Structure 1
Amino acid sequence: MAGVRGGTAGARAGRGRTRWGVFAVVMALPTLLVAGVAAVAIWFMTSDYPLGGEPEDVPCAEALDFGGAKLPKGAYDGQCTVQTWLDTDYHAAFRMPRADVRKWLADTYPEAPEPGTDLCDTDADLCLNLNTQYATPPDGAGADAVTVNVTYEDAGTAVVFFSAFTV
């Protein structure tokens, strides 16, 4: 009888014990979940490009080629980037002789409307937008749309902001 009683007493003690390891894991899960969500939220709020697609420097010839253009003669101080994620977006900024801007645009985009001042960036003196069914980038260009904004820096210099992108 002593063996039976000892076995029963041991079984009762095991059944009533708290399993602290399982309890600790169950209690820690909500805390870990909240901490994980908070970490992701902080990352999204502090990153300029949380989903990727940070701009990368590229040769200006590549940026302009994507929009069906060539870098004009006399261009200098070029800074060009590409940003890709869902779409591809090339940007180029360069200086060129002011007197050559209209000819360069006409030679580059002969089918485009005359450059003007409608729908230009705020500081632009002249612009060209190839982003409608009536005015599109040339065949062979990788871009669906091209915008060119020109600011006259002084009597002899123009700063060109070129953007070619997919939509």
Structure 2
Amino acid sequence: MSIATEIPAPAPRPKRRKALWLIALAAAAALGGLTYAITGVEDTVDEGLQERPMACSEAMYAMGWVLPDHASDQRCTELSGGLAGHTQSGTFRIARADARPWLASLSGERNRPGGAGSDSVVERKEGLALGILRPPGSLQADEVRVDVRWESEDTAVVTFETFDY
């Protein structure tokens, strides 16, 4: 005579159950963090570049410079967000006679292209140009390009743009 006995399955060990809960909790936290990271990046991409007008004196100050006296028709902006980092650009008018002395006064490591004078200012028929690497102000720009175009015998239009590589 044979008696069939069923052997009951052993109850899960409490340590194993605790370990499974910890693994599930860690996986949920990792998945939540990944979702947040993806959503945050997506929000940044959706916003794209943000352009805002700014005072040209503020832009010059951020580069460690001073806006020339009597600058007129000032139009400056800053771009931020996305992959562009933070850049500034602008244009204003000054007296033609003040253009070269102002360019020569700008501080920072000078880009010395061929044809530049001892002050690194490039003279062209239509105006002047200057490149500054890493200006000393609070703006973390890798380069600033300043272009001066002669508008008339008395006036010049200054255009600048920062680059954050």
Other-structure match for 1:5: none
1:147 corresponds to 2:145: yes
- Normalised to the residue count of structure 2, the TM-score between the two structures is 0.58
1:67 aligns with 2:63: yes
Q: Deviations over 1:6-40 (max 9, x none)?
A: xxxxxxxxxxxxxxxxxxxxxxxxxxxxxxxxxxx
Instruction: Compare 74-83 and 54-63 and name the one that shifted more.
Output: 54-63
Quote the offset at 1:139 in angstroms. 5.8
What stretches of structure 1 of length at least 5 have no aligned partner? 1-48
Q: Which consecutive unaligned segments of at least 5 residues does structure 2 have?
A: 1-44, 111-118
The corresponding residue for 1:101 is 99
RMSD of Structure 2 on Structure 1 (CA)? 2.6
Instruction: Give the Cα–Cα distance (whole angstroms) in 2 for the partners of residues 140 and 56 of structure 1.
Output: 18
Instruction: Give the SS at the match of 2:159.
Output: strand
Shift, 1:111, TM fit: 5.5
Q: What is the rounded CA distance, in whole Å, between the counterparts of 1:57 and 1:110 in structure 2?
A: 25
How far is 1:58 from its partner?
0.9
By how many angstroms is 1:52 displaced?
Answer: 1.4
Normalising by the residue count of structure 1, what TM-score does the alignment of the two structures yield?
A: 0.58
Compared with structure 1, are the counterparts of its residues 130 and 110 closer, same or farther at alpha carbon in structure 2 (3 Å cutoff)?
A: closer
Distance in 2 (CA, whole Å) between partners of 1:50 and 1:153 is 40
Aligned residues: 111
Match of residue 90 from structure 2: 92
Q: Secondary structure at the match of 2:122?
A: coil
Percent of aligned pairs sharing the same letter: 34
User: Whole-Å Cα distance in 2 between the matches of residues 78 and 152 of structure 1?
Assistant: 16
Are residue 115 (structure 1) and residue 121 (structure 2) matched? yes
Residue correspondence of structure 1 range 3-152 to structure 2 within 5 A:
51-85=47-81, 86=83, 87-109=85-107, 112=110, 113-117=119-123, 125-131=127-133, 136-138=134-136, 140-152=138-150
Answer 1 or 2: which has greater helix percent. Answer: 1
Q: Distance in 2 between matches of 1:98 and 1:110?
A: 23
User: Which residue is equivalent to 2:33?
Assistant: none
Q: Where is the strand percentage greater, Structure 1 or Structure 2?
A: 2
Aligned to 1:36: none
Structure 2 match to 1:14: none
Distance 1:139 1:66, change over 3 A: closer
Alpha-carbon distance in 2 for matches of 1:144, 1:111: 10
